[in-house]
Amino acid sequence: MLKLIDGKKLAEERRTEIKAEVEKLKAEGITPGLAVILVGEDSASQVYVNNKEKACHEVGFHSEVYRLPEDTTQEDLLALIDKLNKAEHIHGLLVQLPVPKHIDEQAVIHAINPAKDVDGFLPENMGALLIGDEAFVPCTPKGCVDLIKQSGVEIAGKKAVVVGRSNIVGKPMAILLLQENATVTICHSKTKNLKEELLQADIVVAAIGKANFITGDMIKEGAVVIDVGMNRDENGKLVGDIDRASMEGKDCWLTPVPGGVGPMTITMLMKNTLESAMRKRG
């Protein structure tokens, strides 16, 4: 029987834990602060940023959201980042991506103080993650590890296949699974025989960005399947990278879309911001 891993419920539990830690910090006179910068009118970004703001309020953080016009210059954006980099009350800082075309995304990301890079996008954090030093771990893969553990299936010694090699999800996901002592394979658009690779996997993390791309016949019985996909199907319905209908009846664990990885991602952003405030306190 297909068993679902409830990301919404787990995210609520994690937020309750974070809130309790925030209350302790507040008793010491520290309120974790997250600053989010949004440039332009991208509708998906507006939803994400609103949700981040809401989550901050829910866990008791100080939240600052800068909604800047589409024609903001790179110079003005960098000046704001510089100001927030130096602000004592801000522990986490991010610029919502994508930024408008006239702005150099890499220049913007690299301008962020690595000690406030709660997205975990900077080379300082990626490098630290790779060698097992203290780092801000990108939020989506961090949430995925929590979800896999929630299934109760042991990761150590298992064969894990990550599908997708992005800097934000696929690559850090593979590193985290390796740290958990899985045997890890990364598959991507040039992989030959994806089905063959997947059929050997005890753990699958799908981060491809193609609606219903992986079907039940490509998944081994007993596997834990984490679906990072957030796609619209031909009817405009939100669906994952895993074809849910063809998974029915399989003896597997699966994260649903919606209600799986999605709620965990922003929760891990809260966790990283909390960790940043705790690190600063020492």
Active-site residue list: 52, 96, 119
CB of 96 to ligand GUN, least distance (A): 5
Return the number of the residue (84 or 223) whose C-beta is nearest ligand GUN. 84
The reply on whether position 94 binds ligand GUN by CB under 6 A is yes
Q: What six digits make up the tokens of 197?
A: 């690779």
Report the candidate in 33, 282, 36, 274 with the shortest Cα–Cα distance to residue 136. 274
CB of 262 to ligand GUN, least distance (A): 11
Find the residue with minimal CB distance to ligand GUN: 97
Stretch that binds ligand GUN, among 6-14, 88-96, 127-135, 182-190 (CB under 6 A): 88-96
* Rounded Cα–Cα distance for residues 169 and 258 (Å): 18
Q: How many residues of this chain interact with ligand GUN, rule: CB under 6 A?
A: 6
Contact 167, 204 (CB under 8 A): no
Selected binder of ligand GUN within 65, 87, 97, 199 (CB under 6 A): 97
The reply on whether position 87 binds ligand GUN by CB under 6 A is no
Return the number of the residue (96 or 255) whose C-beta is nearest ligand GUN. 96
Phi and psi, residue 46, nearest 5°: -60, -40
Return the number of the residue (143 or 216) whose C-beta is nearest ligand GUN. 143
The reply on whether position 277 binds ligand GUN by CB under 6 A is no
Radius of gyration of the chain (CA): 19
Return the number of the residue (10 or 261) whose C-beta is nearest ligand GUN. 261
Selected binder of ligand GUN within 33, 90, 91, 96 (CB under 6 A): 96
Return the number of the residue (2 or 97) whose C-beta is nearest ligand GUN. 97
CB of 157 to ligand GUN, least distance (A): 31
The reply on whether position 273 binds ligand GUN by CB under 6 A is no
The reply on whether position 272 binds ligand GUN by CB under 6 A is no
The reply on whether position 119 binds ligand GUN by CB under 6 A is yes
Return the number of the residue (216 or 263) whose C-beta is nearest ligand GUN. 263
* Rounded Cα–Cα distance for residues 141 and 265 (Å): 8
Report the candidate in 66, 68, 72 with the shortest Cα–Cα distance to residue 101. 72
Stretch that binds ligand GUN, among 19-27, 89-97, 201-209, 212-220 (CB under 6 A): 89-97
Report the candidate in 115, 123, 166, 159 with the shortest Cα–Cα distance to residue 141. 166
Task: Pick out residues in 225-264 that bind ligand GUN (CB under 6 A).
Answer: none
Give the interface with ligand GUN as residue ranges (CB under 6 A).
94-97, 119, 139
